[in-house]
Amino acid sequence: MTETHKDNNSAQVMTYLSLFNEIDKHFDKLLKTEAFLPYNDKLKQIISGQFPVSRYVRLFQNDLKYFWELRNHISHGLKMWEVMYAIPTQKAIDKLQEFVDNIVNPPLCIQFFKKDVDNIQLVDTVFSLLQKFKETHYSSMPVYDGVKFLWVITERWLLHWVSQQVMQENFINLAKLPVSEVPIFSEKNDFVFVSTEINIYQADEIFTKRRRSGRWLDVMFITQNGRSDEDIVGIVWDKDVALIDDFVV
């Protein structure tokens, strides 16, 4: 074996061990443990727990167990005989790098859902609100009084309210009626504000918990610190959960 070949093997081994160590240390951070805990036990706790990456780790647990076993073969050979009997392939290194990226540094929602978000003002007319629903294809619209966020009005609720007025023969002029005349109503608190630091696993978890509780979440607004008094810089709709699920899977 040439020296160059040995150097290449050593570089691959060191890269592999370094990447695996990133995942191992991140599990320690998630579990908030300073005492020694075998990797397999950490994996079990992450899988059975409610951590931001639990679902992703659960889906790829067999791969992560395999890479742990490969790490052991490499480490034991080096420690006991100072010989590299197991050399990770570039494919194994690339896959492990993918796991590091998705577990240690999961992508943030803002990376996928950053956009200018339209809104409606109290002084705007109900007709203009209906137009905005049509133009933007939003199912919910944030309502503001100047720069102050007030509430969210859904297209479903607005159409329901307008229909009620017609059935009661209250033929209002939507082109003149200001939004301020529409009763404040938000169905089951069907919106949340989250910060730009929230990652896709955490967003998926929020939507999933809402579905399980029977309290449907229609929209997630992204602001710098997750406060409603900040500019909305991104938006995630309930229909976007399918896109998030595809990434998680």
Q: How do residues 60-69 score in pLDDT, each as one tens digit?
A: 999 999 999 9
Give the mean pLDDT of 100-126. 93
- Count of alpha carbons within 13 Å of 24, Cβ hemisphere only? 17
Which pLDDT band holds residue 162 (cuts at 50, 70, 90)? confident
Q: In terms of DSSP H, where are the helices of 32-89? A: 39-48, 54-59, 61-80
From first CA to last CA, the distance across the chain in angstroms is 41
Long-range contacts of 161-170, Cβ-Cβ distance < 8 Å, separation of 24 or more: 161/185, 162/126
Task: Look at residue 146 and give its three-state secondary structure.
Answer: coil
Neighbours of 177 (CB within 10 A): 16
pTM above 0.85, yes or no: no
Cβ contact 196:110 at 8 Å: yes
DSSP H or E segment with residue 221: strand 219-223
The CA-based angle 236-240-241, given to 5 degrees, is 105
Task: With cut-offs at 50, 70 and 90, classify the pLDDT of residue 107.
Answer: confident
211 phi/psi in degrees, rounded to 5: -60, -45
* Cα–Cα nearest to 86, from 101, 95, 76: 76
Instruction: Judge whether residue 45 has pLDDT over 70.
Output: yes
Q: Rounded mean pLDDT of the chain?
A: 88
**Please, are residues 149 and 191 in contact by the beta-carbon 8 Å criterion?**
no
Q: How far is CA 30 from the centre of its chain?
A: 17
Distance CA 86, CA 168 (A): 79
> Any idea what DSSP says for residue 216?
-
Find the helix packing angle between 126-136 and 155-167, rounded to 10°: 140
Task: List the structure tokens of 70.
Answer: 């490969």
pLDDT at position 79: 67
Q: Is residue 76 pLDDT above 70, yes or no?
A: yes
